[in-house]
């Protein structure tokens, strides 16, 4: 009996130790898990704060350390350490071609234990990391002067960009041409235009072109995301026009938000820092003087994708130029067919032409002149990537 009682006491003692160990695991493990989750949130927000500071040309390292300290990780070297790296020092972004755009925040924290000390564990270390990307502003569509965004319809010999005319200069200067289509003959010519361009690139093939460097390229996503332009018509200088644009006057420093068509047939107009957001199509012709220049942070003509697409791409852009025309800025019509007939002007269109499909030519010279300072850039972006 005494032996059995002694064995029972031993079993009880072992059971108490096991129970204490489970209690330690539950309490100290729970504390460690809570700290790890908190540290991860701190690393995430610190990386994003650093990315925001980096695209603003501010002290991104200090921004990350300050945000981490706000979340109780003050880099004191005892209970926690916080390190900030750009480029990252580990992981897949350390060798990324754009590694200098990535910022990595690593937090190592020490969580003191309560019950686990009894079994020889006086603290638990947590290590978390986060990576954010700071994409700087860059030229729209990599600075191509003329871009047709159509990804193609699977039918060859139906070009997304067509140059036409006879013995007239047609093309671009300052940058090249890009057709987003993967079809055969995504770019082609009709007639015998004197085609000029530094290069023509397309995931598809280029036909009817000689003497110009041609190449391939990676398709841009379609439909495009221009959500950063959604607030144009909410700005203080926005003027809403119900129906078609009346064509009486055009004022500088104004955003015209037009629910119908934009039509000009003759008349003299001159304005700077002007943008037209158009819910219909565009038709410009006549022999008047037309000098329009966009502001640096928005296009000259913008036909939102949704408005054109819901109407089966029926909204088109037709510009019949003349020698007194000068349009400076971007023509941004991602779901529209754009037809630009030659103007014979010295500087007819200085900017970018970005449409679904494009025709460029006519009976007189039709040249798009690319100068980066005349165009809106794609805005900088920050994103949490890990």
Q: What is the pLDDT of residues 256-295, one digit of tens each?
A: 999 999 998 888 899 999 999 999 999 988 777 889 999 9
**331 in the same domain as 231:** yes
Taking CA 255 as the corner, what is the angle to CA 250 and CA 261, rounded to the nearest 5 degrees?
70
**146 in the same domain as 130:** no
Residue 171 domain boundaries? 141-378
* Residue where a domain stops, chosen among 96, 118, 136: 136
Q: Is residue 3 part of a domain?
A: no
* Per-residue pLDDT at 254: 96
* Per-residue pLDDT at 92: 93
* Per-residue pLDDT at 347: 53
Binning the chain into helix, strand and coil, the percentages to the nearest 5 are 25, 35, 40
Angstrom CA distances, 254 to 62, 201, 227, 250, stand at: 40, 36, 20, 8
Q: Is residue 2 part of a domain?
A: no
* Per-residue pLDDT at 94: 94
Low-confidence residues of the chain, pLDDT below 70?
Answer: 1-25, 115-116, 118-119, 156-157, 167-168, 307-314, 343-348, 364
Nearest to 109 by CA among 30, 44, 37, 60: 37
* Residue where a domain stops, chosen among 77, 101, 136: 136
* Per-residue pLDDT at 115: 67
DSSP 29: H
Q: Is residue 126 part of a domain?
A: yes
**206 in the same domain as 106:** no
* Per-residue pLDDT at 358: 93
Q: Is residue 272 part of a domain?
A: yes
DSSP 35: H
Q: CA torsion sign, 57 to 61 to 64 to 70?
A: negative
* Residue where a domain stops, chosen among 136, 169, 187: 136
Determine the Cα–Cα distance for residues 11 and 206; give it in Å rounded to an integer.
85
* Per-residue pLDDT at 251: 93
Number of domains the chain is built from: 2
Is residue 242 within 8 A of residue 259, CB to CB? The reply is yes
* Per-residue pLDDT at 22: 63
**145 in the same domain as 130:** no
């Amino acid at each position: 009996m005494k032996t059995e009682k002694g064995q029972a006491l031993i079993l009880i003692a072992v059971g108490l130790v096991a129970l204490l160990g489970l209690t330690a695991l539950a309490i100290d493990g729970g504390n460690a898990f809570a700290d790890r989750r908190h540290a991860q949130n701190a690393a995430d927000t610190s990386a994003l704060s650093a990315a925001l500071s980096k695209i603003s040309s501010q002290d991104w390292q200090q921004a990350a350390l300050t945000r981490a300290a706000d979340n109780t990780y003050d880099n004191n070297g005892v209970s926690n350490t916080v390190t900030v790296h750009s480029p990252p020092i580990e992981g897949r972004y350390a060798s990324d071609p754009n590694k200098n755009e990535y910022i990595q925040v690593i937090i190592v924290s020490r969580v003191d234990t309560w019950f686990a000390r009894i079994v020889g564990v006086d603290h638990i270390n947590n290590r978390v990391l986060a990576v954010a990307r700071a994409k700087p502003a860059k030229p729209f569509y990599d600075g191509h002067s003329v871009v047709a965004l159509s990804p193609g319809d699977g039918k060859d010999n139906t070009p997304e960009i067509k140059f036409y005319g006879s013995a007239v200069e047609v093309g671009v200067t300052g940058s090249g041409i890009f057709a987003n289509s993967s079809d055969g003959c995504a770019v082609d010519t009709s007639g015998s235009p004197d085609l000029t361009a530094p290069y023509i690139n397309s995931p598809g093939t280029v036909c009817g072109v000689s003497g110009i460097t041609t190449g391939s390229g990676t398709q841009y996503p379609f439909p495009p995301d221009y959500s950063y332009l959604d607030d144009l018509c909410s700005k203080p200088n926005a003027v809403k026009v119900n129906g078609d644009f009346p064509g009486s006057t055009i004022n500088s420093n104004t955003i015209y938000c037009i629910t119908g068509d934009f039509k000009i047939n003759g008349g003299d107009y001159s304005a700077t820092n002007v943008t037209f957001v158009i819910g219909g199509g565009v038709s410009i012709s006549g022999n008047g003087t037309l000098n329009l220049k966009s502001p640096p942070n928005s296009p000259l003509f913008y036909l939102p994708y949704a408005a054109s697409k819901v109407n089966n791409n029926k909204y088109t852009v037709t510009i019949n130029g003349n020698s007194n025309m000068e349009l400076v800025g971007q023509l941004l019509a991602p779901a529209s067919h754009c037809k630009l007939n030659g103007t014979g002007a010295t500087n007819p269109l200085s900017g970018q032409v970005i449409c679904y499909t494009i025709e460029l030519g006519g009976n007189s010279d039709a040249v798009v002149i690319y100068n980066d300072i005349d165009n809106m850039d794609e805005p900088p972006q920050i994103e949490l990537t890990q």
